[in-house]
Structure 1
Amino acid sequence: MIFEDIFKEIGDFGRGQIFQYFLLCWPFLMAGFLSVDVVFLMAVPEFVCKPDNVTMYKLQLLSNTTSVSKIADILILLQKSMDNYKTSRCYSWNTSMIMNLTSINLIANRSRLDFQNVTLDSKCSNGFIYSTQSYGSTAPNEYDLVCDSDYIRSNLKTIFFAGRIFGAVIFGQLSDIIGRLRTFLIVVVFNLIAGLGLYFSINPIMIGGFLLLQGFSQVGYTLTTFVLGCELVGTSKRKWTGTVLQLFYTAAFILIPLCYWGMQNWRYLALFSGLPSIFFLSYFFIVYESPRWLLSKGRSKEALIIIEKVGKTNHIKLSENLKTEILKHHESEEYKNDTEKKHSVFDLIKSKSMLLLSLNVWFNWIVNALIYYGIIYNVENLAGSLYLNFILLGLVEIPAYVLNLLFLDRIGRRNLLIISLWGTGVACLLSGCVPKYNTVIIATIAMIGKLTVTMSYGVVYFYTSELFPTTVRNAAMGVSSMSARIGGTMATPILLLDHYFSPLPMIIFAILSAVAGGLTFKMPETKGKPLDQNFHKSSVKNERKTAEDDPKPLINDEKV
């Protein structure tokens, strides 16, 4: 039985599916929020070494303020004029010059001081003071995770990404074993614990533990909600549902800088990232399990109940023939052939064609995530306000998804993926060639690159959900997501290569985009084809090639 036959009777996207789909959009927005909130949680404000008490008192008298952050702004202005600014801020001041000042204006007026004569003594021993012009409270300024302790901040970000890698592996497989909805509810509980735990954390060790859990749950949200959303609708509406989910993900990029700008406190932001989970717990009573997954597990009666509920909401009554076919699905040869063995993530590499397809898909996810997060993490180096740049990086994703909607069915998934990947490569190459002082041009090219890589990332997300059968779809999405997390983790060290050769990171991004685009030619086209329910049907499909079929089979049983 082809599952799309059911949609022909109850409708591809009727009122029942729309309501379920609308509920799933909000956890996907939460997933987008969790993917980037670490940027603000771990942000480092401008800082300088805290002077001794006598010097601080002198500066307070001169500036007529007791605000530590304003004192920090004064010293940052002084220190930024030094040749070795980033190094010097980790050292104590030689305070004799400051003690001899008669007016704070002498610091503001650069022509009145020879800043190069300012000397530093030893590494900072009094702690640090921070500017609040760009950020309010963040974890690094609360626990002084700068200078010699900067590695702790870096490790905390790495721990977050490690959680995403583990989550991709575990939740992808778990969702295929116990179901999409149950796995989603486990994710909800983990995210609630992570948000509350971060809010009440009292040291970096606790922060690391709850960031691991937050990264773990972030991937769980994306995997369970995206697959549930795609499996509830018919072929004609899949591109719309997949794209709208990604638009909700994008909305988080606009929401999070606004939230932090209003809160100015990393603990409130962490709490805000966990509290929506309380609402998501209600989904246990109102969201349906995937009927595709239920049928793949032989739970025909439960699948029929859900399909009847959707049909009733759509004002359609199922025919007796369809009911009988659903109830007897577990007796069909198709089902028996598929359940002779338990399916797992290892099925993705057991046959030669599946191994090659899987490796190709996973490499594509690595490249897309590497460039996508590379552009996001490089936002601090763009000219202008961090908050505004972050919002612009989010807004530019909207036309990207609109373009995907326009061209997914017109030119196919494969061709659109190739074009967007190569477009990203061109943008990265141009960005690397522009001199650093052309900040407006660099920012413009960065936005274009963000648009094209968002297109390719959106296509590969949607494309992957169509390439693999229901029995291993979530496992395949899980490994793909893990590949993306690996790519995202690689972004930061690759960006650091600009210390050796400024255009090198962008050249690397361009080369990888070109290679990924070329390898995409080897993938099969899925435009207009129904989602495979199981391995057996995929094998039969391979034997039934026609002139219209794609010459590359999705799966066959040839052993490696």
Structure 2
Amino acid sequence: MAFQEILMRIGGMGRYQVIHVILLSLPVLMLASHNLLQNFTAAIPEHRCRLNTSLESGNFSGVWVESFIPVESSGKPSKCFRYTSPQFHLINVNSSRNTSDAESEPCIEGWVYDDSEYSSTIITQVWSQTFEHMVKPSDVFVEWIPTEARAFTSTGTGYCYTVGQLVLVGLAYLIQDWRMLQLAASIPFFIYFIYSWWLPESSRWLVLSGKYEQAIIDMKKVARINGKTEEGEKLTVEVIKYDMQREINAASKANYTVLDLIRTPVIRRISLCISCTWFSTSFAYYGLAMDLQKFGLSIYIIQVIFGTVDIPAKFISYFIMTYIGRRVLQAFALILAGVAILVNIFVPEDYHVARIAMVVFGKGCLAASFNCVYLFTGELYPTVIRQTGMGMGTLMARLGGIVAPLVQMTTDFYHHLPLIIFSLCPILSGITASLLPETLGVPLPETIQEVERTGHKDEVTRYAEEMALKNTEYETINGKF
């Protein structure tokens, strides 16, 4: 509470905070390009088996192609097999009857790719490692922003990720060579790295770590930028110690480690629930967003649709976070996303519009969940372990992103199994998210003890409300008799 009061004295949501949010939001703009880049760099173009050298023309139609490439039961040319000898009698035969018992073989001489949509991808050339940069503005972003402005600024930063998805479409359309596309999406991060040194560390964390002089220097800089130079000059070591005495005393009693995320009951519950939330949101989000080719539309169109749905999703999530609460949004966004994905199991395969609509709705719900969890996590953990808690959350998100592609492989066992897994995970996590404490309008906690007291108080309050309700019902029943 004391640091929030100091923050308000040196400008609150002033000029510095606006600059701070903008500079931390710019990397998020290109973050989407890196996270979803493989939809384009690793796209699989239309392809067929390569014929022997003397017959290969690079075309996808013609006498030799039609006589060597089998037709699958779906009526489409095979992508993985070719006849060992030409089947001329099948040319110009109806595709549903264009089959043969002739001997076939795998694509032993490789494949021919259609380059009309992609000049080159990792698949058509060599596979290359890519690096996913998760540099989300986490605790540094939250701690310099006043309580009442946190939801607005967090949503604004989330929109940068949305715009970044649309920027990716433009880049991929203009730059069809995967190497140049990778380079174009990476260069801006060198600029972000350079100016990141200008951004100050969290002064709250510096104070609680005993680095008073550096904290005062940073707060005076913020005050000067906000036009509150006089208030900044009043800040001294003695003033800081006096205003934040309770937080400093509590923080100085222990050395905090990752074990503090599970050491006490309320923090342990928060860590468990928030880990499930991060994992399932990323797991389902990237499970949908990294497999766009399966929808049958142009990948550019479907990427625009998937990016655009975030605009209303995050707009609605802002109002829910601001006026109803973070916990409600987090729980319902995950549950609705899971239900939307699950419904697709019962929608017939040929109802393409309905299937895409449900998946897009689910992706929008997951975008709202992402928008909330970044803010929610920073508000749940106290300053002394906030960075550790945020790190654990993003680690779980990365784990979810890693596991998501593996789940697609379960379709070999049961066609709908990936959808079942992608739906049940957010539904169960949405239920666990309902166990988290609400942080709407609550100042950032400074110490573990503060979180524990608040958490136990919430439990006592809920118990008292339940007992009061039961007593009211009991009196009402007795009154009737």
Does the TM-score normalized on the shorter chain lie above 0.5?
A: yes
Out of 248, 256, 281, the position equivalent to 2:193 is 281
Deviation at 1:114, TM superposition (A): 5.5
Assess if the C-alpha contact under 8 Å between 1:334 and 1:537 holds in 2. no
Confirm or deny that 1:140 pairs with 2:123.
yes
Quote the offset at 1:414 in angstroms: 0.7
Report 1:82-161 matches (<5 A): 82-83=72-73, 88-97=78-87, 111=94, 115-117=98-100, 119=102, 121-143=104-126
Matches of 2:175 and 2:63, distance apart in 1: 21
Q: Kindly tell me the number of residue pairs found equivalent between the two proteins.
A: 464
Structure 1: segments with no counterpart, 5+ residues: 61-67, 144-203, 553-560
CA change 1:115–1:92 in 2 (3 A) is same
TM-score by length of 2: 0.87
Contact map agreement 2:45 2:115 (CA 8 A) in 1: yes
Distance in 2 between the 1:27 and 1:390 partners?
20
Judged with a 3 Å threshold, the aligned counterparts in structure 2 of structure 1 residues 69 and 341 are, in CA distance, closer, same or farther, namely farther
For 2:453 and 2:100, locate their aligned partners in 1 and report how far apart those are by CA, in whole Å.
Answer: 79
CA contact (8 A) 2:7 2:144 kept: no
Shift of 1:396: 0.3
Moved more, 377-386 or 437-446: 377-386
- The aligned residue for residue 40 of structure 1 is 40
Give the CA RMSD over aligned residues: 3.2
Instruction: Check the 8 A contact 2:120/2:178 in 1, yes or no.
Output: yes
Paired position in structure 2 for 1:5: 5
Aligned partners of 1:88 and 1:120 also within 8 Å: no
2:224 is aligned, of 307, 312, 320, to 312
- Please state how far the C-alpha of 1:464 moved relative to its aligned partner: 0.9
- Listed as ranges, the gaps of 5+ residues in structure 2 are 466-481
Contact 1:45 1:131 in 2 (8 A): yes
CA displacement at 1:18 relative to structure 2: 0.7
The within-5 A match list for 1:162-241 is 204=127, 207-208=128-129, 211=130, 214-215=131-132, 218-219=133-134, 221-222=135-136, 225-241=137-153
Partner SS state of residue 286, structure 1: coil
Give the Cα separation in 1 of the matches to 2:18 and 2:291. 37
Range with greater deviation from structure 2 (317-326 or 354-363): 317-326
Percent identity, aligned pairs only? 26
8 Å Cα contact 2:138-2:374 kept in structure 1: no
Question: Which residue in 2 is equivalent to 1:24?
Answer: 24
1:357 and 2:270 equivalent?
yes
Residues 22 and 87 of structure 1, relative CA distance in 2, 3 Å threshold: same
In structure 2, the partner of 1:493 is 406
Per-residue deviation at 1:93? 4.0
CA contact (8 A) 1:495 1:505 kept: yes
The residue aligned with 1:245 is 157
SS, match of residue 53 in structure 1: coil
SS of the equivalent of 1:126 reads: coil
**Which moves more between the two structures, 72-81 or 276-285?**
72-81
CA deviation digits over 1:350-402, x for unaligned, max 9? 11222222111101111111211122133221131111101110110111110
> Whose helix fraction is larger, Structure 1's or Structure 2's?
1
Question: CA distance change for structure 1 residues 402 and 477 in 2, over 3 Å: closer, same or farther?
Answer: same
Aligned pairs (5 A) from 1:421-436: 421-436=334-349
Measured at CA, do residues 271 and 73 of structure 1 come closer, stay the same or move farther in structure 2, by a change above 3 Å? farther
Q: For 1:385, which of 289, 298, 306 is the aligned residue?
A: 298
Q: Is the Cα–Cα contact under 8 Å of residues 68 and 86 in structure 2 kept in the other structure?
A: no
Aligned amino acid, residue 359 of structure 1: L
C-alpha distance 76-517 of structure 1, shift in aligned 2 (>3 A): farther
8 A contact 2:282–2:398 mirrored in 1: yes
Task: Give the distance between the partners of 1:359 and 1:424, measured in 2 at CA.
Answer: 20
3-state SS of the aligned residue for 2:254? coil
